[in-house]
Amino acid sequence: MTDVPVNAASPSTTVEPSLHRVMGPWLLLLFIVGDILGTGIYALTGQVAKQVGGVVWLPFLVAFVVALITAFSYLELVTKYPKAAGAALYTHKAFGIHFVTFIVAFAVMCSGITSASTASRAFAANMSSAMGLGLTGFGITITGLVFMAIVAAVNFRGVGESVKANVVLTCVELTGLLIVIFIGLWAIGMGQGDVSRVMQFRSAPDGGMFWPVIAATTLAFFAMVGFEDSVNMAEECKDPTRHFPKVLLAGLGITGVIYVLVSISAITLVAPEKLAEGETPLLQVVQQGAPNFPLWIFGFITMFAVANSALINMLMASRLVYGMSREHVLPPALGKVHETRRTPSVAIGFTTLLAFALITFVGEVPALGGTTALLLLCVFTVVNVAVLILRRDPVAHQHFRTPTFLPILGAVFCAFLTGPWTGRAVVQYHVAGVLLAIGVGLWFVTIMFNRATGVKPVDPDVETFGRGGPVN
């Protein structure tokens, strides 16, 4: 292995250790499935049912379609530029404006942290329920902070260890959802529950069904995010050009089918108004369909599921901060790699501190989950537009090409779902604004440092932009 400097324009000749390429197709598939599954479906099914009634499966299906359309755009870009990954690279190549690139990259990073913070709060609440601790308020917050510290420690151990932990946790969370599906199908076969609920709408006061479905989709979309994290791990994948298309589409398809089946099982066994009560909707489904099933076991499964979401999102966020630092758009200290573990230790510490702040000062699961969806929908809008612009930038190798109408639809749908007309809570815009303001502040500090030292951000035409450093 030969390490090379990140930026030839940099006056420093210090060589940083590179990241390991450890992810094959099966690990990548588990990474994608594990990142999509988790907090959203386990925690928000009841809130989606509260919006639309019995057709709780429909918002998840609509969210799946929007995510799938955008995934096709990501596939074209990640196979077109396989040596670098992420929305930041695509934005930079399409628009060539460093500040716009930075905002997109920082928004993706923030979405990972808000998602992980959502998972940490859900973990604390489910642990309290499973162990009968009766934690509330301050106790939930402290538990969430301790949990996030453990996630940081696993992240620091290295991507190999983190992804191996992901394999175990993904199997656990998938088992929990399969239990719900099996209980639902068994109960339906035994004549229990009310299958007719799956076609019952809860309409708006004006009698319409469109806006309730849209409002519920903004919640359900949080359950679909995660597939975009995989492109930010391209530097640690063995063969991204070959593996990404089939693995990403397979991962999305698997999770989409699971979500629809879980939703049908849930609403068949539990009425929508009851399903919306509390923070453990799927636990109610298990209790109703299989009253003799040890509920504490399912409580622990839920804990592991949301733990997996937190681990993967913090893994992505720290690597993205590391990459932005190495490209001189964040302070250089954030790009340091631990000599022994070869992990971005300073970036891990920075993202963990932001997560601590969100857990402490925001806390509410709907606010954090909604902010995650809001940030990523904005990013997805930009990525779908970037695909069309970058059609003017041919490359020498063959790559996946999505039909032109898909990125157009993706940009329109994603932009539409970000608006206040969807019924999105105002607090989500506030949280997103504060996080991006922190990023803008760091951007200006970095620019002043660069001017003082003569360092320039990587040029848009440099192939290595967005890679986050050398590879081996």
Question: Given the structure tokens 């901060």, which residue do they identify?
Answer: 321
Residue of 219, 452, 419, 212 whose CA lies nearest to 328: 452
pTM: 0.83
Q: Is 454 a residue whose pLDDT tops 90?
A: no
Would you call 237 helix, strand, or coil by DSSP?
strand
Q: Quote the CA–CA distance of 339 and 208 in Å, as a whole number.
A: 60
In terms of residues, how long is the chain?
472
Q: What is the pLDDT of residue 12?
A: 41
Question: Given the structure tokens 């537009």, which residue do they identify?
Answer: 385
Q: What is the pLDDT of residue 85?
A: 53
Q: Decide if 466 is inside a domain.
A: no
Strand-pair partners of 364: none
The most confident of the ranges 109-123, 342-356, 410-424 is 410-424
Residue of 304, 360, 11, 354 whose CA lies nearest to 130: 304
Residue of 213, 255, 183 whose CA lies nearest to 33: 255
Q: For residue range 194-240, list pLDDT tens digits in order.
A: 888 989 887 666 657 888 899 899 989 988 887 876 665 655 666 66
Q: Decide if 2 is inside a domain.
A: no
Residues 6 or more apart whose CB falls under 8 angstroms from that of 207 comprise none
How buried is residue 398: exposed, middle or buried, by Cβ count under 10 Å (0-12/13-18/19+)?
exposed
For residues 375 and 118, the answer to whether their CB atoms sit within 8 Å is no
Q: Decide if 379 is inside a domain.
A: yes
The most confident of the ranges 63-72, 271-280, 451-460 is 63-72
Q: Decide if 427 is inside a domain.
A: yes
Q: For residue range 400-434, list pLDDT tens digits in order.
A: 889 999 999 999 999 999 999 998 889 999 999 99
- Here the CATH number for the domain that contains residue 316 is 1.20.1740.10
pLDDT higher for 375 or 453? 375
Residue of 116, 104, 89, 118 whose CA lies nearest to 436: 104
Q: Decide if 187 is inside a domain.
A: yes
Q: Decide if 359 is inside a domain.
A: yes
Q: What is the pLDDT of residue 342?
A: 75
Structural domain span for residue 109: 25-453
For residues 86 and 231, the answer to whether their CB atoms sit within 8 Å is yes
**Range with lowest mean pLDDT among 164-168, 298-302, 416-420, 441-445:** 164-168
Q: For residue range 279-299, list pLDDT tens digits in order.
A: 778 888 988 888 888 878 888
Here the tokens at position 385 are 């537009």
Q: Decide if 398 is inside a domain.
A: yes
Q: Decide if 172 is inside a domain.
A: yes
Task: Domain count for the chain, please give it.
Answer: 1
